[in-house]
Chains A and B, each alone.
Chain A
Amino acid sequence: MSRLLPLIAFVLLAGLLGFGIWWNSGHDQTAIPSPLIDKPAPDFKLPLLYQPEQTVTRAALLGKPYLLNVFASWCVDCAIEHPVLQAEAATLGVDLVGYNYKDAPDDAKAWLATHGNPYKVLMADVSGQAAIDFGVYAAPESFLVDARGVIRYKHIGPLTPDVVSGELKPAIAALQKEAH
């Protein structure tokens, strides 16, 4: 019997590995659950891109849900994402808040002039300090924040039409349901 033990252990291991293959075919490996989900959005105080003398804070945005979109003019994927935002901004049902990440203000303005500006509020984090609190990993990233300032949904990477219809819009719909 003891001579069968290694074989039995191996069969268990092979089962686990087989499970791993099956599991990964249905799950995204890179999906890292954000520890911020269902937590209050971190405090921030950032200048507006077009009026740097004015600042926006977390408190000022309370009361209405919004989608915080992290972008930069140097970010290649942001240019891919941008047309989607442009097209969906009107129909999303929440305000778009732009978060210009580690960018030279003039570059950002020039980039928005060419690609269009879908943002209701647009703030600039030149040093990237506040982004650390949000756990920003790389631009683009988007955070759905509800009226109480709690992060409800997060997406890393560009928002594609599929992600918008499959994940973002259901998340917004859930928010609106709660509000009623």
Chain B
Amino acid sequence: MTPELGQIALILALLLALAQSVLPIVGAWRGNGALMAVARPAAFGQGLFVVLAFVLLINAFLRFDFSVQYVADNSNLALPWYYRIAAVWGAHEGSMLLWIFILDVWTLALALFSRRLPEAFVARVLGVLGLIAVGFLAFILFTSDPFGRLIPMPADGGDLNPVLQDPGMTFHPPVIYMGYVGFSVAFAFSIAALLGGELEQAWVRWARPWTNVAWAFLTCGIVAGSWWAYAELGWGGWWFWDPVENASFMPWLVGTALIHAQAVTEKRGSLRAWTILLSIFAFSLSLLGTFLVRSGVLTSVHSFASDPRRGLFILCFLVIVVGGSLLLYALRAPKVAGGKPFAVVSRESAILVGNLMFTVAAAMVLLGTLFPLIGDALNLGRISVGPPYFGLLFPLLMLPVVLLLPFGPYLRWGKGEAPVLRSVMLRAGLAALACAIVAAFFVSTQLKAIAGVASAVWVAVGVLLYVLKRWREMPRGRRYPAEMAGMLFAHVGVAVFLIGVLLSESLSVTRDVRMAPGETQHIGGYDFRFDGVTETQGPNWRADQGTVIVTRDGKPVATMHPQKRTYTREQVQTESAIDPGITRDLYVALGEPMDKQHIDGAWALRLYSKPFIRWLWAGGLLMMLGGFIAASDRRFRLRREASVTDGKRSTLPPKPAEANA
């Protein structure tokens, strides 16, 4: 009975979403307060029923209700309860339900925290979010029903994809969806502004914290995904340029451009149309990602079971939402370049250059991702471009960003001062050069590693100099407002990330070896002794578990246990053993047994020493932290009503320090 209740809840949610999307938008257009007032209650109702459906599906998993097809496909009696909950989003149907669930989390948050915004504007924003909900609810109900029955009910189910049976992976999808779906809020704000013909830029200030939070979640999700790939896939890589990874990376790139463009538009009124366009792009790329993962148009390691009908549905939805909003943009975008003028040397210019690089990088990733498709279309055969393409172009595009980064905070809005910039350049440059020379003594001719040290020092020194400058020049309490602190954290994160990427890429040592018990291999200053393989058992898997003792100059460092697990349904999954460290990770993956007869017990092993690899995730987490801190700035919460009405704006006390923030 309960699965049918879930279905009914989704149908009711769809009807309420229709009300939420149509009535308030019409109301805002006609100036009808009663219709506008529908927005919040309809959004709450819609959210309630979606939450209900979500809870019912979790319940079906917890109760082993194998009469539900989706439950039977993705769980079994041996699966522990926490993975049964994670199984809710382990395959296509449930992950769509998670998508809409998270859209409603954002919608409800917006409905709750928008009391101070003008009624018509909120009505339009909630209406646009309702429209997106209509599309996804219809998609679930018509093509991907998670509550479909399986009669007769099997005694036991299949299994959750074993790559998802990892603590990190339980959280990765919800977090990444928080990010991707969160861009729907910035999108809805932009569309509402276009619909309402907002002349004031106040809405950009309201949109900023939402965009920052969504971006921070997306950053966190990508970091988690990359960490998981590193720990689980067994070959020590952390980024594959796989279509699905790219699907989350493109919105991130555009989102990064967006949070900077929003700052310009909010503070200076310039780049208005560009900011709107970027918010449309960021959300469109999230939708495109959903399309790519589920339509089967591209093959990828983690695409869902594909179905052309689903692809067609999302494509139609994509055409309506993206095509419609770009048409609206073409018709209604601010025609006049507004805002205060800015010189060539100014913060606006620097942000614009960065924006350009991020947008071009996103376009480059999109092109690379769609390349197989273009190859088919032009009858060139199935061509795909891989790491060589991305690995060459992406760093090239990011180089100007890294070079400009230290100057960002020093550049004034409107017109920057050249002498200050020269002194920053001199100091950061000298520091980078000095550190590069020192680094060269350690790594000799590894240019990538030297470049990593130099670029990280360049960025970090620039940020630190600015921190010191604020400390000296500003009174206590006004030195680091949250918005600025967030920016500084994120920029330091870039420096940390650069260390991680460039040092680990250039200094890693990998060795594929055949080892019999008792043999020792010497890698990166460490001795790895293989002590053989034993059998071990988990809740729903059995595994061959190797033991590797690592020593350095005879002193014990770590005992590592790489596993090769076989799950209930005979799927095999490697569990690498990692000994983490600040300056290096040691990493062991178990390959195949080398002799079937098990005479000498030799196995193929893959041994790695990966210097500084942890820094790249640390850098990502710092960026995430920066996003959250910036979003918490009091400026975004207070005095909203003051900025709504035009006349009061000038009565705000002038704050030169913050104008520079």
Contacts and interface: CB of A to CB of B under 8 A. Distances in A.
Interface of A: 3-4, 6-7, 10-11, 13-14, 16-21, 23-25, 27, 29-30, 32-33, 104, 126
Interface of B: 273, 277, 280-281, 284, 291, 295-299, 306, 308, 311-312, 315, 318-319, 322-323, 326-327, 329-330, 333, 370, 373-374, 376-377, 381-382, 596-597
B315 A14 contact: yes
A10 B308 contact: no
Nearest to B597: A104
A21 B295 contact: yes
Given A3-B329, A24-B297, A25-B308, A16 B315 contact: no
B296 A16 contact: no
A23 B377 CA distance: 9
A154 to B, nearest CB: 16
A126 B597 CA distance: 12
Contacts of B596: 104, 126
Contacts of B327: 7
Nearest to A30: B299
B376 A14 contact: no
Contact of A29 (B281, B296, B374, B597): B296
A29 B306 CA distance: 11
A6 B422 CA distance: 38
A25 B296 CA distance: 10
Nearest to B291: A17
Contact of B319 (A6, A14, A24, A25): A14
A3 B330 CA distance: 5
Contacts of A104: 596-597
Contacts, number: 72
10 cross-chain pairs, A with B, having the tightest CB-CB distances, nearest first = A20-B297, A7-B326, A3-B330, A21-B311, A20-B373, A4-B330, A25-B308, A6-B326, A14-B319, A23-B376
Contacts of A29: 296, 299
Given A24-B296, A25-B308, A17 B315 contact: yes
Contacts of A21: 295, 297, 308, 311-312, 315
Given A19-B377, A29-B296, A6 B277 contact: yes
Contacts of B333: 3
Contacts of B273: 3
Given A21-B315, A29-B299, A32-B382, 14 more contacts: A3-B329, A3-B333, A6-B277, A6-B330, A7-B323, A10-B284, A16-B370, A16-B373, A17-B373, A20-B295, A20-B298, A20-B373, A24-B311, A104-B596
23 contacts: A3-B329, A6-B280, A6-B281, A6-B326, A6-B329, A7-B323, A7-B327, A11-B323, A13-B370, A14-B318, A14-B322, A16-B373, A17-B295, A17-B373, A18-B315, A19-B376, A19-B377, A21-B312, A21-B315, A23-B377, A24-B306, A25-B308, A32-B382
Contacts of A27: 376
Nearest to B311: A21
A25 B297 CA distance: 9
A7 B329 contact: yes
B323 A17 contact: no
Nearest to A6: B326
A23 B311 CA distance: 12
Given A14-B315, A24-B297, A19 B326 contact: no
Contacts of B277: 6
A16 B291 CA distance: 13
A23 B281 CA distance: 26
A24 B326 CA distance: 28
Contacts of B281: 6
Contacts of A7: 323, 326-327, 329-330
A18 B323 CA distance: 14
Contacts of A20: 295, 297-298, 311, 373, 376
Contacts of A6: 277, 280-281, 326, 329-330
Contacts of A3: 273, 329-330, 333
Contacts of B280: 6
Contacts of B318: 14, 17
B222 to A, nearest CB: 23
Contacts of A23: 373, 376-377
Nearest to B281: A6
Contacts of B308: 21, 24-25
A20 B323 CA distance: 18
B367 to A, nearest CB: 10
A103 B306 CA distance: 34
Give the one of A13, A20, A21, A29 with max B CB within 10 A: A20
Contacts of B298: 20
Contacts of B291: 17
A141 B329 CA distance: 54
Contact of B374 (A10, A11, A16): A16
A137 to B, nearest CB: 14
A10 B315 contact: no
A44 B238 CA distance: 37
Contacts of B373: 16-17, 19-20, 23
Contacts of B597: 104
A31 to B, nearest CB: 9
B631 to A, nearest CB: 27
B261 to A, nearest CB: 15
B282 to A, nearest CB: 13
Contact of B377 (A10, A11, A16, A30): A16
A20 B373 CA distance: 6
A32 B327 CA distance: 40
A38 to B, nearest CB: 15
B320 to A, nearest CB: 10
A29 B373 CA distance: 11
Nearest to A4: B330
A17 B297 contact: yes
Nearest to B374: A16
A6 B324 CA distance: 12
Contacts of A24: 296-297, 306, 308, 311
Given A16-B374, A21-B311, A24-B296, A33 B381 contact: yes
A24 B303 CA distance: 15
Contacts of A16: 370, 373-374, 377
Contacts of A32: 382
A20 B370 CA distance: 10
A33 B383 CA distance: 11
A95 to B, nearest CB: 29
B377 A14 contact: no
Contacts of A10: 284, 322-323, 326
Contacts of B374: 16
Nearest to B366: A13
B307 to A, nearest CB: 10
Nearest to A7: B326
Give the one of A16, A17, A18, A25 with max B CB within 10 A: A17
Contact of B323 (A14, A25, A30, A126): A14
Nearest to A29: B299
B251 to A, nearest CB: 15
Nearest to A27: B376
Nearest to B314: A17
Contacts of A30: 299
A37 to B, nearest CB: 13
A72 to B, nearest CB: 12
Nearest to A126: B596
